[in-house]
C-alpha cells in the first residue's frame, strides 16, 4: 500500500469575481471549496494512476467528516488522528477581468507537544513492512521541525520505501534520516545548500552530494524545464513536453505521485522519471492541484526527452 502524510490540512476556498476592490462588499459570488494539503494532491494522483492509496495525518475535529467524506468519494483511504478546532483556510480570489490572483492563507493552530507524542504513537502502529510512505507538506505549528526525520526513522526500521518532499529545516533534518527518495525543486535545493545553483552540471553535482549522503534516489524538479534525476552512478536530464500551461500549482505533487506509482510497480529508473515528468506536465494542463488524467500521462510519457548528464 502507498501512504501519504497530511500533517497540516487546510480548506481551500476559491472565489471567482469580475473585479475586486478593497472596502467593497461582494455577495453571491460563485465559489469552490475543497480540503487541501500536499499529501492529498499526491494521493489523488496515485489513485488516478490506478493504485490504492491511504492518507495519514491529523484533522481538526470540526472538519473531520468533511475531509474524510471528500477522500472516501475518491476511494482514497484515510487514517486521521483527530485534534481540537477547525482547519486553517486558504482563500484565493481570482479576478476575471484582470487575471490577478490574490491569496490569503490563515495561520494554523499551534499544537501542544502532547499531540505530537500521541500522533507518533498512532503513526507507529500504522507502519508495516513493504509499504511505501510519502512525507510532504508543511508541519503544524508547535511540532518539532524534525518530525519527518522521526517518522522516516520508524519507516526505515521496518524496511519501508520512503519519499520526502519538503523544505527548509524539515528537509535538512529529513535528509539525515536517509529517505529512499527526495524531491526538492531548485529553490529548495538552493536553500538546502545555502547558495545559488545554476546550470545542469552544477545542479547534478549537488544531487551527487545528496547521493553521497546516503539518499538512493534524488529528483530535482525544474518546473517547465523538467527534472534532473540521480540514482547510483546515473544522472538523467528529463525534459518536460511543451504544452499549453493552465495551472502549475501542485505540479511537484503530481510528479511525486508518479514517482510513487512507478517505483511501486518496479519500473526502471529512466521509466520512473518518464512517468513522473509526464504526471507533472499533465497537472500543468488542468486547473487544480493533483488533477491529471491517466491516458494523458501515458501519452505524455512518449514525449519526455531523457539524456544522460
Ligand atoms: N509549465 C510546465 N510545462 C510542462 N511541465 C511542467 C510545467 N511546470 C511543471 N511541469 C512538470 O511538473 C514537474 C514539477 O514541477 P515543479 O518543479 O514546478 O514542482 P514544485 O516546485 O515542487 O511544485 P509544487 O510544490 O507547487 O507542487 C516538473 O518537473 C515538470 O515535469
Ligand atoms: Mg514542491
- 306 in ligand 1 pocket by Cβ < 6 Å? no
d(Cα 115, Cα 121) in Å, to the nearest integer? 10
Residues 268 and 198 both lie in one domain: yes
- 236 in ligand 1 pocket by Cβ < 6 Å? no
Question: Which uninterrupted H or E stretch holds 80?
Answer: strand 77-83
Enumerate helices (H) and strands (E) in the chain, giving the number of each. 10, 14
Residues 139 and 273 both lie in one domain: no
| 256-308: pLDDT as tens digits | 999 999 999 999 999 999 999 999 999 999 988 999 999 999 999 999 999 99
Number of domains observed in the structure of the chain = 2
Residues 225 and 153 both lie in one domain: no
| 188-201: pLDDT as tens digits | 999 999 999 999 99
Grid cell at residue 273? 522519471
Overall average pLDDT of the 80-104 stretch: 91
Q: 18 lies in a domain?
A: no
Residues 288 and 248 both lie in one domain: yes
Residues 142 and 48 both lie in one domain: yes
- 221 in ligand 1 pocket by Cβ < 6 Å? yes
- Give the pLDDT band (50/70/90) at residue 107: confident
- pLDDT tops 90 at residue 109: no
- 253 in ligand 1 pocket by Cβ < 6 Å? yes
Residues 241 and 300 both lie in one domain: yes
d(Cα 59, Cα 100) in Å, to the nearest integer? 32
Q: 29 lies in a domain?
A: no
Q: What is the mean pLDDT of the chain?
A: 94
The alpha carbon of 298 is separated from its chain's Cα centroid by a whole number of angstroms, namely: 21
pLDDT (0 to 100) of residue 160: 80
Q: 263 lies in a domain?
A: yes
Q: Which is more confidently placed, 22 or 201?
A: 201
- pLDDT tops 90 at residue 45: yes
- 284 in ligand 1 pocket by Cβ < 6 Å? yes
Calculate the dihedral angle through the C-alpha atoms of 261, 266, 271, 274, rounding to the nearest 10 degrees.
10
Residues 136 and 194 both lie in one domain: no
Q: 189 lies in a domain?
A: yes
- 305 in ligand 1 pocket by Cβ < 6 Å? no
Residues 305 and 243 both lie in one domain: yes
Q: Whose CA is nearest to atom 13 of ligand 1?
A: 280
Ligand 2 centroid distance, CA of 307 (Å): 23
d(Cα 224, Cα 210) in Å, to the nearest integer? 23
Give the contacts of 57 (CB within 8 A, at least 6 positions apart): 5, 6, 7, 8, 9, 37, 39, 80, 81
- 290 in ligand 1 pocket by Cβ < 6 Å? no
CA neighbor of 176 nearest in space, from 197, 202, 145, 204 = 145
Q: Determine the structural domain holding residue 110 and report its residue range.
A: 1-10+35-92+105-179
* CATH assignment at residue 210: 3.40.1190.20
Radius of gyration of the chain (CA): 19
Q: 15 lies in a domain?
A: no
- pLDDT tops 90 at residue 52: yes
Ligand nearest to the CA of 274: 1
Residues 2 and 69 both lie in one domain: yes
Q: Whose CA is nearest to atom 23 of ligand 1?
A: 252
Residues 201 and 301 both lie in one domain: yes
Ligand nearest to the CA of 186: 1
- pLDDT tops 80 at residue 159: no
Q: 24 lies in a domain?
A: no
Residues 143 and 5 both lie in one domain: yes
Ligand nearest to the CA of 167: 2
Q: Whose CA is nearest to atom 1 of ligand 1?
A: 224
Amino acid at each position: 500500500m502507498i501512504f501519504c502524510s497530511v500533517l497540516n490540512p487546510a480548506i481551500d476556498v476559491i472565489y471567482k469575481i469580475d473585479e475586486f476592490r478593497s472596502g467593497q462588499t461582494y455577495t453571491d459570488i460563485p465559489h469552490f471549496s475543497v480540503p487541501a494539503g500536499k499529501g492529498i494532491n499526491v494521493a489523488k494522483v496515485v489513485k488516478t494512476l490506478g493504485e490504492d492509496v491511504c492518507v495519514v495525518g491529523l484533522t481538526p475535529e470540526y472538519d473531520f467528516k468533511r475531509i474524510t467524506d471528500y477522500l472516501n468519494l475518491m476511494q482514497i483511504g484515510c487514517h486521521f488522528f483527530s485534534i481540537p478546532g477547525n482547519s486553517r483556510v486558504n482563500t484565493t480570489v481570482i479576478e476575471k477581468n484582470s487575471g490577478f490572483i490574490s491569496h490569503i492563507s490563515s495561520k494554523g493552530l499551534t499544537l501542544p507537544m502532547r499531540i505530537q507524542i500521541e500522533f507518533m504513537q498512532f503513526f507507529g502502529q500504522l507502519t508495516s513492512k513493504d509499504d511505501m510512505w510519502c512525507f510532504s507538506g508543511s508541519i503544524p505549528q508547535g511540532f518539532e521541525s524534525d518530525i519527518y526525520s522521526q517518522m522516516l526513522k520508524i519507516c526505515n526500521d521496518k524496511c519501508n520505501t520512503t519519499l520526502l518532499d519538503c523544505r527548509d529545516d524539515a528537509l535538512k533534518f529529513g535528509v539525515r534520516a536517509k529517505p529512499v527518495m527526495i524531491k526538492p525543486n531548485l529553490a529548495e535545493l538552493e536553500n538546502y545548500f545555502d547558495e545559488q545553483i545554476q546550470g545542469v552540471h552544477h545542479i547534478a553535482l549537488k544531487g551527487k552530494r545528496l547521493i553521497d549522503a546516503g539518499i538512493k534516489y534524488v529528483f530535482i524538479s525544474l518546473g517547465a524545464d523538467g527534472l534532473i534525476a540521480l540514482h547510483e552512478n546515473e544522472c538523467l536530464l528529463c525534459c518536460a513536453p511543451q504544452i499549453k500551461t493552465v495551472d502549475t500549482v501542485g505540479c511537484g505533487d503530481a510528479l511525486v505521485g508518479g514517482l510513487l506509482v512507478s517505483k511501486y510497480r518496479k519500473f526502471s529508473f529512466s521509466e520512473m522519471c518518464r512517468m513522473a515528468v509526464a504526471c507533472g506536465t499533465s497537472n500543468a494542463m488542468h486547473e487544480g492541484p493533483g488533477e491529471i488524467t491517466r491516458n494523458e500521462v501515458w501519452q505524455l510519457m512518449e514525449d519526455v526527452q531523457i539524456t544522460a548528464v
